Amino acid sequence: GAGCARADRGPPRLPPQSVAMELNNETIDTPPRDAASVVMLRDGATGLEVLLMRRHTDSAVLGGAYVFPGGKVDAADTAPDMLARLDRSPGELHARLGEPDLTPEQAAAFFVAAAREAAEESGLLLLQRGDTEIALHSADACTRLRAGESLAALLAAHGARLDTDALAPWSRWIT
């Protein structure tokens, strides 16, 4: 995919002409779904850098828009094999999220979804091996996740846990 092979080519350049986006005035009557987005930041040579992904221009929703990596929570995000691959317990993640109406497993699912979506869309894996935290760019991981391999299986293949300490909950929006 487009986001999988982008490593170390520098920040994307905006197109010379801006594309006007139309407002959607349709009333949405479907219930909101649990989802997570990730704002990825790093110190660059000229200042703070922010990772944005460009949606395909043919996408029915926000085609061509620059967005943060993210997406919906999947059932596999709370599977026992996935929860066993966390660097923190669901209870600890529940306390960090600060959402008392959620169960610890639901809270853990937000952390997993954020990391999984970031890996699927950008190839960035947040790993923990022993006491070592590793942010690894892997086009192979991106491809494997997009093909349906579970994040738990991918982490197991790397002999690692998911580094939830690399994720800091910021806010919760319901849209």
pTM for this model (two decimals)? 0.83
For 6-17, write each residue's pLDDT tens digit: 445 555 555 555
Residue 59 confidence (pLDDT):
83
Residue 3 confidence (pLDDT):
57
Query: What mean pLDDT, rounded, does the chain reach?
Result: 87
Residue 61 confidence (pLDDT):
78
Residue 9 confidence (pLDDT):
52
Using 70 as the pLDDT threshold, list the residues of the chain that sit under it: 1-22, 175
For residue 127, what are the contacts with CB-CB under 8 A and spacing of at least 6?
133, 134, 135, 136, 155, 158, 160, 161, 162, 163
